[in-house]
């Protein structure tokens, strides 16, 4: 599902250096309304560093990130308020909180009650709390976790922990969801369920940018896929374009690419 409208996300010439090492080198990318875009590349290619530049965890050395035609401030909570949510390669749940409580944490950027309302526990506070719980339960229904709302997050099976992280990200009501290796460690059945969930999220009107190593998952899912190698985007296009590009084949076979600069060797985490 592609679109000719103005891009929802527009990344222009983003570069991220750590001292003398370049992790991301002059990468540009757009995501349109209703699109699912893939980002692939070998380990250490700079994919997660690129995500960190989009979400305010890193301040790019060069370049700009615009969302809904507005320059994003390099602060994670302001990026979330603007309408971008993400998951992480390594699951980051609150292990000793319940499934419902984890999703409620994701609602905090969309609640308007101030500290005095929370302290006094007036009618406004209770109304907002009830609305947040209702929204959170809707998301647990959507992700198939409603029956485990009162379970501790740490007691969920791995695949359901991934779903919970997605539900928590959706609680902030994003227009764009960034997924960092959502099927890592999953079996084929769990991967298929994750694919169906991503399509369902897109059907809700949320655009998606996804990092993944599972090529079948990416090519089944995405409208376009961009390939990062040694911090540089070497190709972007549909399944056929990417699969038939000699530079992509070379990169995945492990040979150095002519004309690319060595990227930071820091693990893509």
pLDDT score for 266: 40
State the DSSP string of 188-237: HHHHHHHHHHHHHHHHTT-EEEEE-S-HHHHHHH-SEEEEEETTEEEEEE
**What fold is seen in the domain 89-173?**
Rossmann fold (3.40.50)
Q: Taking the CB of residue 79, how many other CB atoms lie within 10 A of it? A: 24
Q: Do domains 1-83+176-186+207-264 and 89-173 have the same CATH topology?
A: yes
pLDDT score for 112: 56
- Domain locations along the chain: 1-83+176-186+207-264, 89-173
**What fold is seen in the domain 1-83+176-186+207-264?**
Rossmann fold (3.40.50)
Q: What is the pLDDT along the chain (269 residues), one digit of tens a residue?
A: 444 567 999 999 999 999 989 999 999 999 999 999 999 998 889 999 999 999 999 999 999 999 999 999 889 999 999 999 999 888 889 999 999 999 998 887 766 544 434 444 555 556 767 888 999 999 999 999 999 999 999 999 998 999 999 999 999 999 999 999 999 888 899 999 999 999 999 999 999 999 998 888 999 999 999 999 999 999 999 999 998 898 888 887 665 545 444 444 344 44
* pTM of the predicted protein model: 0.84
Give how far Cα 119 sits from Cα of 47, 101, 111, 128, 179, Å.
42, 19, 15, 14, 35
Tell me the two tokens of residue 228. 């990062």
**Beta strands across the sheet bearing 36-40:** 84-86, 176-180, 207-211, 36-40, 224-229, 232-237
Compute the distance between CA of residue 243 and CA of residue 220 in angstroms, rounded to an integer. 13
Compute the distance between CA of residue 74 and CA of residue 55 in angstroms, rounded to an integer. 7
Q: Taking the CB of residue 188, how many other CB atoms lie within 10 A of it? A: 10
Compute the distance between CA of residue 79 and CA of residue 57 in angstroms, rounded to an integer. 10
């Amino acid at each position: 599902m592609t679109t000719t409208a103005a891009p929802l996300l527009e990344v222009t010439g983003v570069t991220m250096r750590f001292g003398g090492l370049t992790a991301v080198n002059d990468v540009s990318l757009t995501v349109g309304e209703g699109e699912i875009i893939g980002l692939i590349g070998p380990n250490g290619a700079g994919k997660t560093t690129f995500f960190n530049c989009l979400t305010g965890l890193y301040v790019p050395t060069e370049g700009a990130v615009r969302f809904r035609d507005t320059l994003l401030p390099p602060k994670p909570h302001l990026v979330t308020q603007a309408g971008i949510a993400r998951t992480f390669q390594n699951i980051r749940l609150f292990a000793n909180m319940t499934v419902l409580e984890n999703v409620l944490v994701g609602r905090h950027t969309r609640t308007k009650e101030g500290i005095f309302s929370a302290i006094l526990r007036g009618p406004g506070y209770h109304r907002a709390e009830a609305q947040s719980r209702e929204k959170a339960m809707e998301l647990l229904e959507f992700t198939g976790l409603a029956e485990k709302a009162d379970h501790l997050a740490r007691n969920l099976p791995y695949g359901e922990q991934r779903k919970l992280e997605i539900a928590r990200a959706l609680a902030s009501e994003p227009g764009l969801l960034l997924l960092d290796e959502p099927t890592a460690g999953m079996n084929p059945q769990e991967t298929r369920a994750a694919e169906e969930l991503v399509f369902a999220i897109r059907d809700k009107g949320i655009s998606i940018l996804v990092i993944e190593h599972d090529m079948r998952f990416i090519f089944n899912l995405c409208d376009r896929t961009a390939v990062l190698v040694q911090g540089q985007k070497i190709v972007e296009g549909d399944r056929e374009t990417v699969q038939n590009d000699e530079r992509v084949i070379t990169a995945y076979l492990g040979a150095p690419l002519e004309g690319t600069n060595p990227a930071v060797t820091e693990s893509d985490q």
